[in-house]
Amino acid sequence: MSKQLLLGDEAIAQAALDAGLSGVYAYPGTPSTEITEYIQMAPITTERHIHSRWCTNEKTAMEAALGMSFVGKRALVCMKHVGMNVAADCFVNSAMTGVKGGLIVVAADDPSMHSSQNEQDSRFYGDFALIPMYEPSNQQEAYDMAYSGFEFSEKIGEPVLMRMVTRLAHSRSGVVRKPQQPQNEMAFSEDPRQFILLPGIARKRYKALLAHQEDFIRASEESPYNQYIDGPNKKLGIIACGIGYNYLMENYPEGCEYPVLKIGQYPLPKKQLRQLVEDCDELLVLEDGQPFVEKQLKGYLGLGIPVKGRLDGTLSHDGELNPDSVARAVGKENKVAFAASPIVEMRPPALCEGCGHRDMYITLTEVLRNEYPLHKVFSDIGCYTLGAGAPFHAIHSCVDMGASITMAKGAADGGLYPSVAVIGDSTFTHSGMTGLLDCVNAHSDVTIVISDNETTAMTGGQDSAGTGKLEAICEGLGVDPAHIRVMVPLKKNHEEMKQVIREELAYHGVSVIIPRRECIQTLARKKRSK
């Protein structure tokens, strides 16, 4: 088959298409976004009627994918690591229901927080759900795992979690493709109660899941993605997980002097681990993320062998793994090829010139600072989060998707006035609507600004689920139509905007202000494409 130069994300997408995918379900989030975008743009997606629209959030994505699996078709779910928190209810329970059609859940982690609010490691979710996991070390493995993963999922009757990291997702390498497979025909489980998690059924399914754990371990022991590579120096044994193996081999281009256990599939292969423990004096764990494997080794092996890694300080507790940190961990000298340029300075991200969020913040902060010195603004996840920096310094919180509205509610319940929430249109439909309903039901004294740029801007301009529907949604949730105010955030409308904001801040109840102007970048792309 042909060889293509692909991002790690694109390798997964192409593999899914080649493996007979029927639907991809996702919410955009760096570094996972390109998987779904690649599928959306592929000609085969149109030819085969592969479902590829963006979902409202990760929970709805996971549930819809499970529904496609229910009818025997192959489905892919894609999200960044924090999206796993949103999808977790269905994700964990899907291990109990099992699957019919192959189901792969891709979680793209972001060590060092390049574009995220935390560094959580999605492998803990896979372990929590008690299902097998893949962790590729390069783009070819990402392709191979996704291509064979659907069949593996159908064979074991469980979803499979694939964990990516930013560097692998957003770097390119040559990938050799495999033959194109047809889509599955519609088919249903032989057990009509498989997906009904009433307690009596769920208890039986949980026992069955537990009984399969040894099978999953044997699958890991036999997996081509887990390899024991012997070395002459037995003083140290190295466990290299996912991309950690790449970083190790960058330091040993002629082959590593120490025995290495390369890990690409979980649960951990006990047979190979025992061999490493028996052969070596101490172990070093290389994993990009939290000390997932290191904790397991120290916990269940109980063999008295020293284990080094993030927990003992051999590697940093936070940030990305990289070839330099691996070199230090194995006692090699770091060689700096090029010194850092003295003229290059860090440039913090900023709102684009011409962005509607700018005009919204300028007006909002002017009113609040001049008239309400004790105000607080609770913000959310999106471009408008950049209102935290210069020149605006406009917001006081950013925690998780949708938290702006519910934190503003809680602060108002605690006596804060005015309590203001700023949220984007896509984030509002993702996780803000339920918070607004809480506000309506409690008659909360909050002012909610839904800054509508008619797209999911921060992740590249994907469609927003709420476009054209925000006023109707707010009214449907019970907001008084008289206090759903739409304005156009432009400099020429400054005074008009100030008046609207003043009126709604003065109103004691739930009010919604919608500054609406299309994202300047999305608009520019549309004009270029004409």
The half-sphere exposure of 52 on its side-chain side, counting CA atoms within 13 A, is 23
* Token pair recorded at residue 529: 């494409």
Residue 374's pLDDT band (cuts 50, 70, 90): confident
Q: What is the mean pLDDT of residues 352-367?
A: 93
pLDDT of residue 303: 58
Distance between CA atoms of 353 and 349, rounded to whole angstroms?
12
CATH superfamily entry for domain 3-211: Thiamin diphosphate (ThDP)-binding fold, Pyr/PP domains (3.40.50.970)
Q: What is the mean pLDDT of residues 185-190?
A: 90
Q: Do domains 227-329 and 356-526 have the same CATH topology?
A: yes
The mean pLDDT value of the chain amounts to 91
Q: What are phi and psi of 51, to 5 degrees?
A: -70, 130
Distance between CA atoms of 16 and 13, rounded to whole angstroms?
5
pLDDT of residue 388: 86
E strand residue ranges, 83-213: 103-109, 133-134, 160-165, 172-176
Q: Which of 227, 109, 209, 211 is nearest to 168 (CA)?
A: 109
Residues 46, 48, 53: CA angle, nearest 5 degrees? 55
Q: What stretches of 71-130 show up as alpha helix (H) in DSSP?
A: 83-97, 123-129
Q: Is the pLDDT of residue 319 over 60?
A: yes
Q: Which stretch of 339-353, 385-399, 435-449 has the lowest confidence by average pLDDT?
A: 339-353
Domain ranges, ordered by start, for the chain: 3-211, 227-329, 356-526
Residue 71's pLDDT band (cuts 50, 70, 90): confident
Distance between CA atoms of 254 and 194, rounded to whole angstroms?
51
Task: For CA atoms 307, 210, 290, 259, give the dihedral sign.
Answer: positive
CB crowding 199-211: b at 16 or more within 10 Å, else e: eebeeebeeebee
Q: What stretches of 354-466 show up as alpha helix (H) in DSSP?
A: 356-371, 403-413, 425-427, 433-441
Q: What is the mean pLDDT of residues 338-363?
A: 86
pLDDT of residue 297: 86
3-class secondary-structure state, position 233: coil
- pLDDT above 70 covers a percentage of the chain that reads 98
Q: Is the pLDDT of residue 213 over 90?
A: yes
Measured in residues, the chain has a length of 530
Q: Is the pLDDT of residue 9 over 80?
A: yes
Identify the residue with better confidence: 309 or 517: 517
Dihedral (Cα; 449, 451, 457, 459), 10-degree rounding: 0
Q: Which residue has the tokens 């047979």?
A: 271
Q: Write the CB contacts of 344 (distance below 8 Å, at least 6 apart in sequence).
A: none
pLDDT of residue 1: 64
DSSP code, position 493: G
pLDDT tens digit sequence for 226-273: 999 999 999 999 999 999 999 999 999 999 999 999 999 999 999 999
Q: Which of 120, 110, 115, 111 is nearest to 88 (CA)?
A: 120
Task: For CA atoms 91, 96, 101, 102, give the dihedral sign.
Answer: positive
Residue 465's pLDDT band (cuts 50, 70, 90): confident
Q: Is the pLDDT of residue 335 over 90?
A: no
> Domain spanning 227-329: which CATH class is it, in words?
alpha beta
Q: Could you tell me the fold of the domain covering 356-526? A: Rossmann fold (3.40.50)
pLDDT of residue 299: 61
Q: Write the CB contacts of 7 (distance below 8 Å, at least 6 apart in sequence).
A: 34, 139, 169, 170, 171, 172
**Pair type for strands 227-229 and 376-378:** unpaired
Identify the residue with better confidence: 412 or 335: 412
Q: What is the mean pLDDT of residues 401-412?
A: 85
Q: What are phi and psi of 75, to 5 degrees?
A: -135, 150
Q: Which of 339, 311, 315, 312 is nearest to 327 (CA)?
A: 315
Contact 27, 80 (CB under 8 A): no
The residue type found at 1 is M
Q: What is the mean pLDDT of residues 198-218?
A: 91
Q: At what angle do helices 433-441 and 403-413 cross, to 10 degrees?
A: 20
Contact 231, 257 (CB under 8 A): yes
The residue type found at 508 is H
pLDDT of residue 120: 93
3-class secondary-structure state, position 236: strand
Q: Is the pLDDT of residue 304 over 70?
A: no
The residue type found at 467 is T
Q: What is the mean pLDDT of residues 147-173?
A: 97
pLDDT of residue 302: 56
Residue 300's pLDDT band (cuts 50, 70, 90): low
Contact 259, 235 (CB under 8 A): no
Distance between CA atoms of 319 and 337, rounded to whole angstroms?
22
Q: What is the mean pLDDT of residues 451-479?
A: 88
